[in-house]
Structure 1
Amino acid sequence: MTSTAEAPPPIAKPSFIALLIAVAAVSPLGINMYLPSTPGMARALGVDFTTIQLTLSLYLAAMAVGQLIIGPLSDRFGRRPVLLIGLAIFVMGSLICLMAQGIVLLIFGRIVQAVGGCAGITLSRAIVRDLYGRNQVASMIGYVTMGMAIAPMLAPTIGGILETFYGWRASFVFLMAFGSLALLFAFLQLHETNNNRGAAGSARMLLRSYFGLFGSRLFWGYTLATSFVSAVFFAFLAGAPYVMIELMGRSPAEYGFYFAIVPCGYILGNFASGRFAGRVGVNLMILTGTIMTLVSVAVMAGIFAAGFIHPVALFGPMFFIGLGNGLVLPSGIAGAVSVKPDAAGAAAGLSGSLQIGFGAMVAPLVGSALDMTVWPLIAIMAACALFAIASFALVAKRRKAPAAG
């Protein structure tokens, strides 16, 4: 009992908050940093845009699978050792990408990067659940994610500049350096927060935890709403470089500068989650965010239908889609990891896996559907937004009764 009473104080330290932000930012950096380089990478490696999209979609797929393993491993062996090993693997994957001379080795390096990097985003959530009660988790995740969003906000801008002056490999030098610093920071600052490690026991017990989550309608409601809202964003990530650079004829650096609009909305949404989720409840935050997302996609469609073909037509509505993501994700994640607090790592891993897995599915779909117009991208984003609202019905019905844990 003493250990649980002593656990909260490190959270108050700015250095501990900065640690959670840094390790959670590793994987989003891996997604966003190199995106302005994808058309140039395709030309340099002699492949088409659909093939180069595999470096994104397989990265997301590897993240999805990795979180299924990392979450339960951290329940059994502790957050600290699993996080340190994951960050070391991310650095190794970045080095492989840097040295790659062909598309096959590059894709392999991206998969290694993803498996290691997802430890940060999964375990930062589990660490928060270790240290906070259910009603505080959404607020805390909102604040951590708000700080974390600065990294992907700056990443495409930095990546576009690096691509313009030094070529596409420079982005992987940056990722390797950032991952190494995050690893050192975690090694020096992170103490174990999972006081129930080992309780998960055997593989059979781990599977039992997953089956318990599989049978929870509440868990699925939170997770699917979060996953579909995320899929809107991932669809945009997959298609926007092509629309901006190939269809509109803009430069990678310009793409990077416009992209900074999107995380600004995400930061604002997470700030609102941090301030209000504890007071108004997670359901209202999720409902507001999903409706805002759908309306923003509809506005984007209307602007393009009116014949205004400009980056503002793409990135203006994306500010509000980012805001919607910031409202939905902290509350959806908090709800998912609070269904079974004794299996918070498994819940964080499974919900995160599905969230990223949906992105892995829509990314190649967008890559193959895009032709000479923006409409396949808008159609896929609209479908995901509609499914997010439909998924919320699972939560709305069940949350009338108080959740266990």
Structure 2
Amino acid sequence: MGLEGKTKYVLGPAVVEQVEVQQDNTSDGPRQWRNLVGFWFLGLTNNFAYVVMLSAAHDILKTEEGGEGNGTLLTTLVPENGTTPPSVNGSNNTDRFLECNQISTGAILLADILPTLVIKLVAPFFLQKIGYRVKVLLVVGFAMASFLLVALPTQMGVNILGVVCASISGGLGEITFLSLTTFFHHDVVSSWSSGTGGAGVFGALAYAGFTQVISPRTTVLILTVVPVIMFISYFFVLKKPRPNDESVVGNSTEQLITTQPVISLKGKAALILPLLKFIIPLSLVYFAEYFINQGLHELLYFNDIWLSKSEQYRWYQVDYQVGVLISRSSVNCFEIKKLWILPILQFVNLAVLLTQVFYRYIPNFWIIIAIVFFEGLLGGAAYVNTFYRVRKETAPEVREFSLGVATVGDSVGIAVAGAAAIPTHNRLCSLKLKM
């Protein structure tokens, strides 16, 4: 148990010289390992439903509509046998973008991210008034509801509601658990971030693996164990701070970790401006990143290689998620202080891949794989380093609120990218370029 003291902080009412806030700053021993493991699983389970739900809902809705291609938003301009149309050398009528969906996957992304964005915009202003037990139970409840609503035989609207519940759970969970790191050793930020990166890889692999042998509905029902793991991680794995002075004697752990200085609405609004130096770079990185993922990945295919177009797209996603996992786990080994470098590099990736869609000057699939991997590294690095810097540079008395507000950065970038990817993708698909 430790106290913050004699430290000047970037954020806080004026300059905070010394603040006594109960925190667990233990850096070694079984207690710290339990907290690192607990936050890793909280990160994993918080993002797991988000990763799984879209694929599961898409599969189940296809089944309800009578099979592949019936009643789905994504109508692919590909022959029914699934083969890639050969290029016709010398033809003036060859459409370079023949093989692309009429509606971008950005439409699905936008529908999924908006509930999360709304939660992140409004929740930090009132969420501190709610105890962590209640908040965690809400996160677990929405996650469980998302799995059940998508898995159980119901109408389409109910399945879609399941996806919305997953989005609410993920957004509320990110604010809740990142704010919770305020009361633990700073290393748990990296542990949480690593877990969220793991959700991308393990969530996709778990869903793909199970659906090879059982139905999508049964797979999703099995995965209801994920919110149960979240419940166990918070209530039984984490070793929460204990009172150590007379001001908190007799208080429960729940009361202890929710007893923070009351910040007025005006005070909260004043704290947002200095947070923009963290939020804006994160938003820009995520805009470029998700514009690439949802607007360009489908168009970065190579003809006449050992992988089909669909297989190439899936490997791009796996490649990207591996990069995210590695970089989100890296902050304790390699900390990036100049966050503005990351959006510059990510926009370079965007420029390279966008021009590749038009000019096809990159001759090799593996070069694209390397660029997409680097894209994932930058996205994961922006996420973990942003919250690590907020955690270190904000005064203890406003840290909980500041971490909650900063979570809006990635969601704003993703939402704007989804909105921009739709018309851009459709425009690219409509172009009739000569080979």
TM-score interval (norm. to shorter):
0.7 to 0.9
Question: Where in structure 1 are there 5+ consecutive unaligned residues?
Answer: 377-405
In 1, the alpha carbon distance for the partners of 2:119 and 2:105 equals: 22
Question: Where in structure 2 are there 5+ consecutive unaligned residues?
Answer: 4-20, 66-70, 75-102, 242-253
Q: Are 2:135 and 1:87 aligned?
A: no
Partner SS for 2:167: helix
Q: Are 2:261 and 1:197 aligned?
A: no
Q: Which moved more, 1:328-337 or 1:14-23?
A: 328-337
In 2, the alpha carbon distance for the partners of 1:163 and 1:310 equals: 31
Aligned identity (percent) is 11
Q: Are 2:112 and 1:59 aligned?
A: yes
1:93, distance to aligned residue in structure 2 (A): 2.1
2:232 is matched with which residue: 173, 184, 190?
Answer: 184
8 Å Cα contact 2:179/2:399 also seen in 1? yes
8 Å Cα contact 1:59/1:110 also seen in 2? yes
Cα distance change of structure 1 residues 252 and 20 upon mapping to structure 2, 3 Å threshold: farther
| Equivalent residue number for residue 79 of structure 2 | none
Residue identity matched to 2:207: G
Residue identity matched to 1:31: Y
Q: Are 2:25 and 1:8 aligned?
A: yes
1:375, distance to aligned residue in structure 2 (A): 11
Q: Are 2:271 and 1:213 aligned?
A: yes
Q: Are 2:278 and 1:222 aligned?
A: yes
Cα distance change of structure 1 residues 348 and 317 upon mapping to structure 2, 3 Å threshold: same
Q: How does 1:172-321 map to 2 (within 5 A)?
A: 172-192=220-240, 195=256, 197-199=258-260, 201=262, 205=263, 207-214=265-272, 216=273, 218-239=274-295, 242-243=298-299, 250=308, 255-277=313-335, 282-284=336-338, 286-301=339-354, 303-304=356-357, 305-306=359-360, 312=366, 314-321=368-375
1:295, distance to aligned residue in structure 2 (A): 2.8
Q: Are 2:408 and 1:324 aligned?
A: no
In 2, the alpha carbon distance for the partners of 1:329 and 1:229 equals: 9
In 1, the alpha carbon distance for the partners of 2:385 and 2:108 equals: 30
Cα distance change of structure 1 residues 346 and 6 upon mapping to structure 2, 3 Å threshold: closer
The C-alpha deviation readout for 1:131-163, integer Å capped at 9, x for no partner, is 34xxxx4x6533432343122123223333444
Residue identity matched to 1:358: G
8 Å Cα contact 1:68/1:349 also seen in 2? no
2:48 is matched with which residue: 29, 32, 38?
Answer: 29
1:39, distance to aligned residue in structure 2 (A): 6.2
| Equivalent residue number for residue 72 of structure 2 | 47
Cα distance change of structure 1 residues 169 and 38 upon mapping to structure 2, 3 Å threshold: same
8 Å Cα contact 2:43/2:195 also seen in 1? no
Q: How does 1:113-132 map to 2 (within 5 A)?
A: 113-132=166-185
TM-score (normalised: structure 1): 0.73
Q: How does 1:70-149 map to 2 (within 5 A)?
A: 70-99=123-152, 101-132=154-185, 137=186, 140-149=188-197
Cα distance change of structure 1 residues 184 and 131 upon mapping to structure 2, 3 Å threshold: closer
Give the structure with higher Rg (CA).
2
The C-alpha deviation readout for 1:249-272, integer Å capped at 9, x for no partner, is 848676545423223322332344
Partner SS for 1:283: coil
Q: Are 2:371 and 1:353 aligned?
A: no
1:319, distance to aligned residue in structure 2 (A): 0.8
CA-based RMSD of the aligned residues comes to 3.8
1:320, distance to aligned residue in structure 2 (A): 0.6
8 Å Cα contact 1:36/1:160 also seen in 2? no
Cα distance change of structure 1 residues 106 and 39 upon mapping to structure 2, 3 Å threshold: closer
Residue identity matched to 2:283: S
Residue identity matched to 2:388: A
1:20, distance to aligned residue in structure 2 (A): 0.9
1:108, distance to aligned residue in structure 2 (A): 1.6
1:10, distance to aligned residue in structure 2 (A): 8.2
8 Å Cα contact 2:284/2:343 also seen in 1? no
In 1, the alpha carbon distance for the partners of 2:211 and 2:430 equals: 28
8 Å Cα contact 2:140/2:230 also seen in 1? yes
2:396 is matched with which residue: 341, 348, 353?
Answer: 341
Cα distance change of structure 1 residues 175 and 212 upon mapping to structure 2, 3 Å threshold: farther
Residue identity matched to 1:296: N
Decide which structure has greater helix share.
1
8 Å Cα contact 1:219/1:339 also seen in 2? no
